[in-house]
């Protein structure tokens, strides 16, 4: 019997809730507890567990790796919030905002160490490879974050460079989680490569959708839109628009976010008017569908039965908020 995705998530939360964090020094450890109980969607550990299960692995045996991936993900948020000067995270003050930069730096460091410490509890014969995989994944996430910061200072970012950046910043953790799950379940090397491709494409679709929703909003009521536009951030829509725009349009795209004579609403409207005239929302939707379909297509090539592929397809659909 396979666990359903909901059951697997419950198993994970149950396992995670048993983890003990030292009480002292309080300023080192309480931000970790705050961060880990902040209501994340647990996407990465769930993907790891579902992948391991798909290849016949035992959920409880791979649980430490799932925890390690989630702790690492939350660590990146702690440090990203300092670098991005972000006050809020999941509807609550960020650790950076609540405790300050020094606490966020050091607690984050401790979280990364905790991630590796937890990882060391997996099956010993797999540990050398998995520590190496985990570290490569983690480095790639750092590279993505650095490129993202580099892009803020660049006038022009190519679409190819942008895709490469989000492949590192967003996809790497998903593909790392999925491949670690596959390796822990003794999947064949071909399948490991395929599952990597699946999670990479899915991660790209997910990030592009995030970019699109930021500018064009969600079906959910009350979702604040336009944050990326107001911050002058590089997004898929922005880099596409810049590559297609006329010189006057480029000027609008470049300068609007820092134009003090405009209200926030006017800024968003102005940039979206350029996006609309260039059709970049439509292009982004096409990219999202392309990446999503590719991800599902890769699943069909795995050397496992359809019943074992289905939970991964369901994970992908849920992630994207799609019925099919």
CA distances (Å), origin 31, targets 118, 214, 252:
18, 28, 41
If binding is defined by CB under 8 A, does position 11 make contact with a copy of itself?
no
CB 212 → a copy of itself: shortest distance, Å?
A: 26
Q: Out of 125, 189, 247, 307, point to the residue binding a copy of itself (CB under 8 A).
A: 125
- Residue 28 interacting with a copy of itself (CB under 8 A): yes
Q: Helix, strand, or coil here: 205?
A: helix
- Judged by CB under 8 A, the stretch of 115-123, 195-203, 249-257, 297-305 that binds a copy of itself is 115-123
Cβ–Cβ under 8 Å, residues 109 and 28 = no
259: three-class secondary structure by DSSP: coil
Q: Does 230 bind a copy of itself (CB under 8 A)?
A: no
276 lies in the site for a copy of itself, by CB under 8 A: no
Q: Is 19 in the site for a copy of itself (CB under 8 A)?
A: no
Is 79 a residue that touches a copy of itself (CB under 8 A)?
Answer: yes
Cis peptide leading into residue 25 (ω within 30°): yes
Residue 79 or 196 with smaller CB distance to a copy of itself: 79
128 contacts a copy of itself (rule: CB under 8 A): yes
**Which helix H or strand E contains 310, and what residues bound it?**
helix 306-320
Q: How many residues bind a copy of itself (CB under 8 A)?
A: 40
* Residue 266 beta carbon to a copy of itself: minimum distance, rounded to whole angstroms: 30
163 lies in the binding site for a copy of itself (CB under 8 A): no
- Residue 109 interacts with a copy of itself (CB under 8 A): yes or no: yes
- Furthest-apart CA atoms within the chain: distance in Å: 62
Q: Rounded CA gap, 28 and 33, in Å?
A: 10
Sign of CA dihedral 159, 138, 68, 313: positive
In this chain, which of 132, 231, 259, 264 binds a copy of itself, going by CB under 8 A? 132
* Helix, strand, coil tally for the chain in percent (to 5): 75, 0, 25
CB nearer to a copy of itself: pick between 146 and 318: 146
Place of tokens 């609309």: 276
- Report in angstroms how near the CB of residue 86 gets to a copy of itself at its nearest: 13
Q: How far apart are CA 56 and CA 127, in angstroms?
A: 19
Using the rule CB under 8 A, is 112 a contact of a copy of itself?
A: yes
Q: Which helix (H) or strand (E) holds 28?
A: helix 26-36
Contacts with a copy of itself, residue ranges (CB under 8 A): 24-25, 27-28, 79, 82-83, 101-102, 105-106, 108-110, 112-114, 116-117, 119-121, 124-125, 127-128, 131-132, 134-136, 138-139, 142-143, 145-147, 149-150
């Amino acid at each position: 019997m396979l666990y359903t995705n909901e059951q697997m998530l419950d198993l994970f939360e149950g396992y995670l809730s048993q983890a003990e964090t030292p009480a002292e020094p309080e300023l080192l450890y309480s931000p970790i507890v705050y961060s880990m109980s902040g209501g994340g969607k647990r996407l990465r550990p769930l993907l790891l567990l579902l992948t391991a299960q798909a290849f016949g692995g035992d959920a409880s045996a791979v649980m430490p790796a799932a925890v390690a991936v989630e702790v690492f993900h939350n660590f990146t948020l702690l440090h990203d919030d300092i670098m991005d000067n972000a006050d809020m995270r999941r509807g609550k003050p960020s650790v950076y905002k609540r405790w300050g930069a020094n606490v966020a730096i050091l607690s984050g460091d401790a979280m990364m160490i905790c991630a590796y410490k937890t990882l060391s509890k997996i099956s010993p014969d797999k540990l050398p490879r998995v520590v190496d995989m985990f570290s490569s994944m983690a480095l790639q996430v750092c590279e993505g974050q650095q490129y993202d910061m580099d892009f803020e200072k660049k006038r022009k970012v190519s679409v190819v460079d942008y895709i490469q950046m989000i492949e590192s910043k967003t996809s790497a953790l998903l593909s790392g989680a999925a491949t670690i799950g596959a390796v822990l379940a003794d999947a064949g090397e071909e399948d490991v490569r395929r599952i990597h491709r699946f999670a990479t494409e899915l991660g790209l679709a997910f990030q592009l959708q995030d970019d699109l929703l930021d500018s064009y909003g969600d079906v959910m009521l009350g979702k604040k839109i336009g944050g990326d536009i107001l911050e002058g951030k590089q997004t898929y829509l922005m880099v596409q628009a810049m590559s297609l725009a006329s010189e006057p349009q480029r000027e609008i795209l470049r300068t609007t976010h820092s134009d003090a004579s405009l209200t926030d609403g006017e800024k968003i409207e102005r940039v979206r008017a350029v996006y609309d005239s260039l059709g970049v929302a439509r292009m982004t939707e096409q990219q999202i569908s392309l990446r999503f379909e590719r991800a599902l297509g890769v699943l069909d090539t795995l050397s496992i039965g359809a019943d074992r592929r289905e939970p991964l397809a369901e994970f992908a659909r849920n992630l994207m908020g799609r019925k099919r």
